[in-house]
Amino acid sequence: MSPFEFVTVLISIILGLGITQIMSGIADLIHQWDKTKIYWPHVLWVILVFVLHVQQWWLTYQLRDMVVWRLPFFLFEVLYPISLFILARILFPLTGDETSNDMKVFYFRHYRKFFLLVMILSVLSALENIFIHNLGVAGWLVNLVLFAGLLVVAVKKIKTERLHEAIALLLLTAMTAGIIININEWLITA
């Protein structure tokens, strides 16, 4: 077993647990379908977080050529999947919480927590882009804009529906565009 294979087992487990949280949350909502009111920006967040999990698993393969792993580096690498897992978990009401079947009410009650975790993810992503992937300004500029925008909305407790709809739509659109634009970089080869 190579060092890469060894360390990616734990990363894969954490990402798998996050995906499990998303699928379980969706299944819980479907199970309570007659009592649940769906809010489409929340659905976009669920899709976004799911794709982020898969994207992180996919990008982890870029580290396959590392032959020496140190614990501090690994601990840094595992922070992103851990943050994704927590985000996946808080995207859904706790099982049995009968007061949270209106996903719009649930979203606006918890959006600041979502935003905080996305801000943490953006900082971790920027640090990895700068120090591990050597991407320079391109590695942190988008993350800085994302961080600043979410910070303003969260700190000022802005609950304007149109703004939250635009944020969810913009984030999912930006992620999709990034994947399409960089389609030839999203390769796994032997």
Cα 68–chain centre separation? 27
Is pTM beyond 0.95 here?
no
Residue 106 CB contacts under 8 Å (≥ 6 apart), including other chains: 39, 42, 93, 100
Q: What is the pLDDT of residue 140?
A: 83
pLDDT tens, residue by residue, 18-41: 999 999 999 999 998 898 999 999
Mark the ranges of the chain whose per-residue pLDDT is less than 50: none
Helix, strand, or coil (residue 183): helix
CB 115 within 8 A of CB 150: yes
Residue ranges of the domains in the chain?
Answer: 3-185
What amino acid is encoded at 5 in this protein? E
Q: What is the pLDDT of residue 97?
A: 63
Q: What is the DSSP string of 150-169?
A: HHHHHHTT---HHHHHHHHH
Q: What is the pLDDT of residue 188?
A: 81
Q: What is the pLDDT of residue 10?
A: 96
